[in-house]
């Protein structure tokens, strides 16, 4: 079964310093039909104004992945990590038994555009943890590059959640089309989120901010004839 959710159907919150689109119910946005997909609980597309950010706040029992699209994100947490996340980098924070962190945009005159992704962990009460890795554009061009997985395969960030996250940059030559294919094991769900550009997934046309939800599918086929960027999630049902 294939379902498409268009960008404009998402929840939206404008806090002045933060503009956030919610793919699933989050904070003041509630839609009982969109509480998550498999063990994927949150995808927020956030834009943080320069000189602002999220002050110190707690999390627990969640795998949190940050994927920066433009600008930079300064991270500080109660585990002692102080890092700057830039485009091409993927950060995973295991909240586990409890962690406090802050996220700021310290870049003058530049908006930080990133995805905040939450996944349900394999079990509650994990020890808090942190990992951050860079994946070059070359690694992601015209392929499905594994960037996060439960076993840390292929140099990906290791998740304490039964999920695999692939990132792709489509860069077809003039007049050419890029074709990609992902096989799904029985009982798995898939979620495709288009960050920018236009792609066709399972015969459905998707543009920036659109998502495709799939279940009971053996294969997902992606194609594109112009520059685009997207994430593909292989998820526990």
Give DSSP secondary structure letters for 94-109. Answer: E-TT-EEEEEE--STT
> Does pLDDT of 231 surpass 90?
yes
pTM value? 0.97
Q: Is 185 helix (H, G, I), strand (E, B) or coil?
A: coil
> Does pLDDT of 168 surpass 90?
yes
DSSP of 8-53 = GGSEEEE-SSEEEEESS-BTTB--TT-S-BTTEEEEEEEEE-TT-E
pLDDT tens-digit profile of 17-42?
A: 999 999 999 999 999 999 999 999 99
- CA distance linking residue 122 with residue 142, whole number of Å: 31
> CATH code for 2-235?
2.60.120.10
Spans of all domains in the chain: 2-235
At 184 the pLDDT is 95
Q: Is 114 helix (H, G, I), strand (E, B) or coil?
A: strand
> Does pLDDT of 3 surpass 90?
yes
**Vertex 207: Cα angle to 26 and 156 (nearest 5):** 65
- CA distance linking residue 120 with residue 41, whole number of Å: 7
> Does pLDDT of 147 surpass 90?
yes
pLDDT tens-digit profile of 43-79?
A: 999 999 999 999 999 999 999 999 999 999 999 999 9
pLDDT tens-digit profile of 169-207?
A: 999 999 899 999 999 999 999 999 999 999 999 999 999
Judged on CB neighbours under 10 Å (0-12, 13-18, 19+), 138 is exposed
Q: Which residues of 49-188 form beta strands (DSSP E)?
A: 53-59, 63-70, 73-77, 82-85, 89-94, 99-104, 112-119, 129-134, 145-149, 157-158, 163-170, 178-183
- CA distance linking residue 237 with residue 9, whole number of Å: 23
- Residue 156 carries which DSSP code? P
Residue 237 pLDDT level (bands cut at 50, 70, 90): confident
- Residue 123 carries which DSSP code? S
- CA distance linking residue 50 with residue 96, whole number of Å: 30
């Amino acid at each position: 079964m294939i379902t498409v959710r268009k960008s404009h159907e998402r929840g939206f919150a404008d806090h002045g310093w933060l503009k956030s689109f919610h793919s699933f119910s989050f904070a003041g946005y509630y839609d009982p039909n969109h509480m998550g997909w498999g063990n994927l609980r949150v995808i927020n597309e956030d834009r943080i104004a320069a000189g602002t950010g999220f002050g110190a706040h707690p999390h627990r029992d969640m795998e949190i992945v940050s994927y920066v699209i433009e600008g930079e994100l300064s991270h500080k947490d109660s585990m002692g990590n102080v890092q700057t996340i830039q485009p091409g980098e993927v950060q995973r924070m295991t909240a586990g038994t409890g962690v406090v962190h802050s996220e700021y945009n310290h870049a003058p005159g530049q908006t930080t555009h990133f995805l905040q992704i939450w996944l349900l962990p394999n079990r509650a009460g994990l020890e808090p943890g942190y990992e951050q890795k860079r994946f070059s554009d070359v690694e992601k061009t015209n392929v499905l590059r594994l960037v996060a997985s439960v076993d840390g395969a292929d140099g990906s960030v290791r998740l304490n959640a039964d999920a695999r996250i692939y990132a792709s940059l489509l860069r077809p030559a003039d007049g050419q089309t890029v074709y990609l294919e992902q096989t799904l094991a029985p009982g798995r769900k898939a979620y495709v989120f288009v960050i920018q550009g236009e792609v066709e997934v399972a015969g459905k046309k998707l543009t920036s901010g659109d998502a495709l939800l799939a279940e009971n599918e053996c294969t997902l086929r992606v194609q594109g004839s112009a520059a685009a960027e997207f994430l593909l999630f292989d998820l526990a049902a």
